[in-house]
Amino acid sequence: MQLYSTNNLSSRVSFKDAVFNSMPQDKGLYMPVTIPRLDDKFLNNLDQYTLPEIAFHVAKHLIGDDIPDADLKAIVYDAISFLAPVVKLEENIYVLELWHGPSLAFKDFGARFMSRVMSYFLEKGEKQLNVLVATSGDTGGAVALGFLGVPDTRVTILYPKDKVSEVQELQLTTNGQNIRAVEIDGTFDDCQALVKQAFTDNELNEKFRLTSANSINIARLIPQTFYYFNAYAQLLKQGVSKIIFSVPSGNFGNIGAGLLAWKMGLPVEHFIAATNVNDTVPEYLKSGVYQPKPSIATLSNAMDVGDPSNWVRIADLFKDDMGDLKDLVTGYRYDDEETLAAIKFINDDYNYVACPHTAIAWQALRDWQQDNYKPDKAGVFLSTAHPCKFPDVFPKNIAVKIDVPEQVEELEKKKKQATALGKDFEGFKRYLLEKG
């Protein structure tokens, strides 16, 4: 697999290089030079394969010879060790539950696959890999649990004090082993600034092999294509073959992976980009003007992104004809009041509890179906996290219905372990140098 930077179409790097340096020097993002179209025999018979089988087939065609088949298979089967079921809620409305992994959010797909790929590419005798990651909530948990126990890696997670939910904080701070948490007296932006500065610090780079685990890494994007193919497979089994996906979007990695799957031949009829009031992309799809904005805090906080990083990847996929993109993708945006109304509606109508991000995707699907009703098309909205991760969002009568998974009950018995630091770089640097 060769990759280029979206800012320099003639540049070339290997998969390994793109994995260890998430972002090209020119600040573009890596994209595969060739996006293979999967054969019709595979696509027409998807319903005969399991999720790990599909994942291996897709990964093998994208990654090619960079990882031999037997090794790639081992990585995929170890990483994708949980299901992504499609559940029917009513005629033509299905939910794709992506939160059956260890951190209870879809980011487990990306983080688990990336951690194993990184560990695979580390050569014998090389320095241990020091992964730095800033999180506003879900990324940290997925990365922590994704790297937990992975040999020759050490992960440092920075999170803003008092700004993540209780379950999220426990997922970050109770792991031990090769995972440590740093609680920063500041905002998510402060955490991110500290990580960025660490990457440019000569002394730290000499002493450690630093790498980032952020969402723009190509090894996080690839595994997110797997569940689109697998969702299609599950619907084929039920005799449904015309599908629309509605994706709750923030940094646009998830829907970007869906569009990549479509490019590889997955016959999706339409995509919906569902956002909260951070609506840069829905606005672009309407007006043709891409106008990034400062992010606004909402109830669906994992989507509070005013300038989605993965957008350049989507623009790159459609660089030959942005008109195709507008035909394939429709944007919708909702404020917090509408999000709460959607949560209540889903509870009342289906007796189902959806997290705020998921509820936005459901509402967008409903609105799209109202505007474009086609009785033979099934809508699938992606459920990106388990509702127990956002307990404060729900009214009491709904909150009491959320069943708390066993792994969360286990977490609640453990003790939080985090180092408290200020937002100054010198303090953080001293911590890294002392603790190794």
Residue numbers annotated as active site:
107
Q: Does 363 bind ligand PLP (CB under 6 A)?
A: no
Residue 144 Cβ vs ligand PLP, minimum distance, rounded to whole Å: 14
Q: Does 250 bind ligand PLP (CB under 6 A)?
A: yes
- The mark string for 198-227 relative to ligand PLP (x by CB under 6 A, - otherwise) is -----------------x------------
Q: Is the dihedral of CA 329, 334, 338, 339 positive or negative?
A: positive
Q: What kind and span of H or E run contains 22?
A: none
Identify residues 279-308 at the interface with ligand PLP (CB under 6 A): 302-303
Between CA 292 and CA 381 the distance in angstroms is 26
Q: Does 171 bind ligand PLP (CB under 6 A)?
A: no
382 with 106: CB under 8 angstroms? yes
- 186 vs 253 by CB, closer to ligand PLP: 253
Q: Does 271 bind ligand PLP (CB under 6 A)?
A: no
- 180 vs 357 by CB, closer to ligand PLP: 357
Q: What kind and span of H or E run contains 142?
A: helix 138-147
Q: Does 122 bind ligand PLP (CB under 6 A)?
A: no
Q: What kind and span of H or E run contains 227?
A: helix 218-237
Residue choice 24, 253, 282, 387 for contact with ligand PLP (CB under 6 A): 253
Residue carrying the six token digits 């031999």: 68
Residue carrying the six token digits 């569940």: 227
Q: Does 386 bind ligand PLP (CB under 6 A)?
A: no
Q: What kind and span of H or E run contains 309?
A: none
**Tokens standing for 431?**
């911590």
- 56 vs 390 by CB, closer to ligand PLP: 390
Between CA 79 and CA 110 the distance in angstroms is 9
Residue 190 Cβ vs ligand PLP, minimum distance, rounded to whole Å: 20
Strands (E), 33-168: 86-90, 93-97, 129-134, 153-160
Identify residues 129-158 at the interface with ligand PLP (CB under 6 A): 138
Measured between its terminal Cα atoms, the distance across the chain in Å is 34
Strands 86-90 and 418-421: unpaired
Stretch of 43-51, 163-171, 252-260, 367-375 contacting ligand PLP, by CB under 6 A: 252-260
Identify residues 342-361 at the interface with ligand PLP (CB under 6 A): 357
Residue 220 Cβ vs ligand PLP, minimum distance, rounded to whole Å: 9
- 32 vs 253 by CB, closer to ligand PLP: 253
Strands 93-97 and 86-90: antiparallel
Residue 301 Cβ vs ligand PLP, minimum distance, rounded to whole Å: 9
**Tokens standing for 46?**
């998807």
Question: Footprint of ligand PLP on this chain (CB under 6 A)?
Answer: 105, 107, 138, 215, 248-254, 302-303, 357, 384-385
